[in-house]
Amino acid sequence: MKKFLALLLSVMMLLGCTAMAEEAAPAGLTKDIVILFTSDVHAGLDMGWGYAGLAAVRDSYAVNNHVVLVDNGDAIQGETIGTLTNGKALVEMMNAVGYDVAVPGNHEFDYGMDNFLTLANEEAEYPYVSANFTYKDKSVFAPYIIKEFEGVKVAFVGVTTPKTITSSTPTYFQDENGNYVYGFCQDDTGAKFYAAIQGAVDAARAEGAQYVIICGHLGTEETCEPYTSIDVIYNVSGIDAVLDGHAHEVMPSNVVKGVDGKDVVRVACGTKLANIGMLTISADGAITGSLLSWTNDVAPTQLFQLTGDVVDACNAKIAELEVVRQTVVAFTENTLYINDPEAGVRIIRNAETNLGDLCADAYRAMSGADVAFVNGGGVRAQIPAGDITLDQIYSVHPFGNVMCMVEVSGQQILDALEWGARNNPGENGGFLQVSGLTYEIHTYVPSSCVQDENGMFVSVDGEYRVKNVMVGGEPLDVNKTYTLASHNYMLKSTGDGYAMFAGAKLLIDETLIDNQVLITYITQVLGGVVGADYANPYGQGRIVGVPEAPVAE
């Protein structure tokens, strides 16, 4: 135990980013309150610290402290085990670990609203909280939960990004007539969103909470404005700290000045259990944020003996799927990329890659469409050269979206390309990897895409930055009808805000699941080998960035 605690202390000191906000010393508190949190685990139950390691960390801190364990969303989706069990295996693991509270992230809804509500209300042994998740403007979950330690009350307020509507499947939030009945207090300005959170904070304070912690699936990305964690701090008073998720950001701690002039500690712990977030309320009233960082050099088994129910449960889940996960289904001569092989940064959401080409080609080949689109946010993992396992295929396409084909006009295709390129060279989960066409993105042209309060495409009110679109080697005709293949998320459910396809005539309605589309293309069309056509990490030149205006001759 001493070795373990010493190591944790050294890890936190090495991070060198601990920040502190002062509170009046709470009467009666003799031990520190340690809040451990995870976010964006994405079904990586055995990655990084692993759930078994997390449980051991929690138990070690509980010897001399009050401990609370929180999850900030996106726990149940992202790896094969999540896909094959619709997230249930992860909820069972979180039960085994002993979470105290959780917040729904956008990907909690990826297997359908009914599925998530069943998991939350019938399977989870911990409560979900969210101040802004509503059904017909009424809260679905309690907005907060209060934990009491030696008479000191700490409130945990859940907040879920309103971008969930477009970053999960929009139809999951609609009734049978296409009306939005579920929502996240979204509007153009964020005022409704802030008001919902402020109401929860005020209610918690009125109930006697001396500390209010925002457990947010929010992030700080520009594309998430006005709903970022920083926006919340700037617009909601009475907050002591924010435990942040969604952006996969690693932030040991930073202090942000709140709207009421109060220092707010913000901590973010990244993804896949690489770090365990920690917020400490000390007995003298100080609030400190930090991370327990995983390194491959020091495994949990070197720190303590991992035994008990959590280890057994984790091992059982892994064993159930190990044979399936490792089944070899094909071979690739080349690494198939979502990251830049030179810089190491993700590019699938703002540039062409060979894996993006492969996935889009699979949809076009399996459907016979003129054109195929795959959203960059739906291509989640790269595949190294060599044998391709089923696990790798599921990791590329973990969402279980289903292939569709529709009739669309050339104008709809142009609008879709423009919508997908609106943030370029910045990232966009809706950035389009394509098959059957080529296009240029003239990034010096400001985006003039207009969206509604739900983040749905409305129109393009200026010059298009997407130019020189060629379909099958011929210029795109905006008045011509084309066949377009993609998945139900985009073509039927307006996923990523692609509202221009709403109501399009369906020619193929939900046939192969996305990962089966990819497997079938590789095994049946490519003969089981991904070869020279996909050798270039940056693809086949289908998407060209033009950063400067051409010089007039």
Digit-coded pLDDT (tens) for 6-64: 334 334 333 434 455 555 556 678 999 999 999 999 999 888 898 988 998 998 899 99
Based on the fold, state whether residues 264 and 151 are members of the same structural domain.
Answer: yes
- Per cent of the chain over pLDDT 90 is 73
Q: Evaluate whether residue 314 is within a structural domain.
A: yes
Based on the fold, state whether residues 343 and 425 are members of the same structural domain.
Answer: yes
Look up residue 118 and give its two tokens.
């069943």
Based on the fold, state whether residues 242 and 366 are members of the same structural domain.
Answer: no
Chain centroid, CA 393 distance in Å: 19
Number of H helices, E strands in the chain: 15, 29
Look up residue 235 and give its two tokens.
């617009």
**Which ranges constitute the DSSP H helices of 207-285?**
229-235
Based on the fold, state whether residues 317 and 381 are members of the same structural domain.
Answer: no
The stretch 520-533 carries a mean pLDDT of 95
d(Cα 30, Cα 25) in Å, to the nearest integer? 11
Asked which of 86-95, 114-123, 408-417 is least confident by mean pLDDT, the reply is: 86-95
- In 3D space, the residue among 374, 376, 352 whose CA is nearest the CA of residue 365 turns out to be 374
The pLDDT, as a whole number, for residue 303 is 46
Asked if residue 322 has pLDDT above 80, the reply is no
The stretch 62-84 carries a mean pLDDT of 90
Q: What is the CATH number of the domain that holds 445?
A: 3.90.780.10
Based on the fold, state whether residues 36 and 89 are members of the same structural domain.
Answer: yes
Based on the fold, state whether residues 348 and 199 are members of the same structural domain.
Answer: no
Crossing angle of helices 88-97 and 50-61, in 10° steps, is: 20
Query: Could you write out the three-class secondary structure of 491-517?
Result: HCCCHHHCHHHCCCEEEECCCCEHHHH
d(Cα 131, Cα 228) in Å, to the nearest integer? 15
Q: Evaluate whether residue 552 is within a structural domain.
A: no
The better pLDDT of the pair 409, 81 is held by 409
pLDDT tens readout for residues 333-366: 999 999 999 999 999 999 999 999 999 999 999 9
Look up residue 20 and give its two tokens.
């502190």
Cα 341–Cα 343–Cα 348 angle in degrees, nearest 5: 65
d(Cα 409, Cα 416) in Å, to the nearest integer? 11
pLDDT tens readout for residues 222-280: 878 999 999 999 999 999 999 999 999 999 999 999 999 999 999 999 999 999 999 99
Asked if residue 305 has pLDDT above 60, the reply is no
**Cis-peptide into 226, omega within 30 deg:** yes
Crossing angle of helices 309-325 and 50-61, in 10° steps, is: 170
Q: Evaluate whether residue 213 is within a structural domain.
A: yes
188-198 in b/e burial notation, b at 16+ Cβ within 10 A?
eebebbbbbbb
| pLDDT band (50, 70, 90) for residue 306 | low
The pLDDT, as a whole number, for residue 326 is 84
Based on the fold, state whether residues 406 and 423 are members of the same structural domain.
Answer: yes
| pLDDT band (50, 70, 90) for residue 293 | confident
C-alpha pair distances (Å), 201 with each of 114, 353, 392 = 29, 45, 43
| pLDDT band (50, 70, 90) for residue 217 | very high
Asked if residue 410 has pLDDT above 50, the reply is yes
- Per cent of the chain over pLDDT 70 is 92
The pLDDT, as a whole number, for residue 389 is 93
| The domain boundary residue, chosen from 296, 321, 346 | 321
Q: What is the CATH number of the domain that holds 74?
A: 3.60.21.10
**Which residues fall within 8 angstroms of residue 342, CB to CB, at 6 or more apart?**
none
Q: Environment class of residue 396 by beta-carbon count within 10 Å: exposed (0-12), middle (13-18) or buried (19+)? A: buried
Domain count of the fold of the chain: 2
Contact 28, 148 (CB under 8 A): no
The stretch 190-196 carries a mean pLDDT of 97
Look up residue 316 and give its two tokens.
């059982």
CB atoms within 10 A of CB 524: 11
Chain-wide mean pLDDT for the chain? 90
Which amino acid belongs to residue 229? Answer: S
The pLDDT, as a whole number, for residue 21 is 53
Based on the fold, state whether residues 358 and 313 are members of the same structural domain.
Answer: no
The pLDDT, as a whole number, for residue 508 is 87
The pLDDT, as a whole number, for residue 313 is 76
| The domain boundary residue, chosen from 294, 321, 348 | 321
Based on the fold, state whether residues 297 and 354 are members of the same structural domain.
Answer: no
d(Cα 363, Cα 529) in Å, to the nearest integer? 17
How far is the first Cα of the chain from the last one, in angstroms, to the nearest whole number? 74
Asked which of 203-207, 315-319, 324-328 is least confident by mean pLDDT, the reply is: 315-319
HSE-up (13 A, CA, CB side) for residue 356: 31
Based on the fold, state whether residues 352 and 215 are members of the same structural domain.
Answer: no
C-alpha pair distances (Å), 131 with each of 106, 157, 160, 165, 198 = 15, 7, 8, 16, 9
| pLDDT band (50, 70, 90) for residue 373 | very high
Based on the fold, state whether residues 133 and 183 are members of the same structural domain.
Answer: yes
Largest Cα separation within the chain, whole Å, is 79
d(Cα 23, Cα 1) in Å, to the nearest integer? 30
The pLDDT, as a whole number, for residue 302 is 45
| The domain boundary residue, chosen from 321, 337, 371 | 321
Which value, in Å, is the radius of gyration of the alpha carbons in the chain? 24
d(Cα 347, Cα 431) in Å, to the nearest integer? 10
Q: Evaluate whether residue 364 is within a structural domain.
A: yes
Based on the fold, state whether residues 520 and 384 are members of the same structural domain.
Answer: yes
The stretch 497-523 carries a mean pLDDT of 90
Q: Evaluate whether residue 536 is within a structural domain.
A: yes
Look up residue 313 and give its two tokens.
């449960």
| pLDDT band (50, 70, 90) for residue 288 | very high
CB atoms within 10 A of CB 137: 9
Q: Environment class of residue 484 by beta-carbon count within 10 Å: exposed (0-12), middle (13-18) or buried (19+)? A: buried
The pLDDT, as a whole number, for residue 8 is 41
Q: Evaluate whether residue 488 is within a structural domain.
A: yes
d(Cα 552, Cα 206) in Å, to the nearest integer? 66
Q: Evaluate whether residue 551 is within a structural domain.
A: no
CB atoms within 10 A of CB 453: 13
Domain that holds residue 202: 2-321
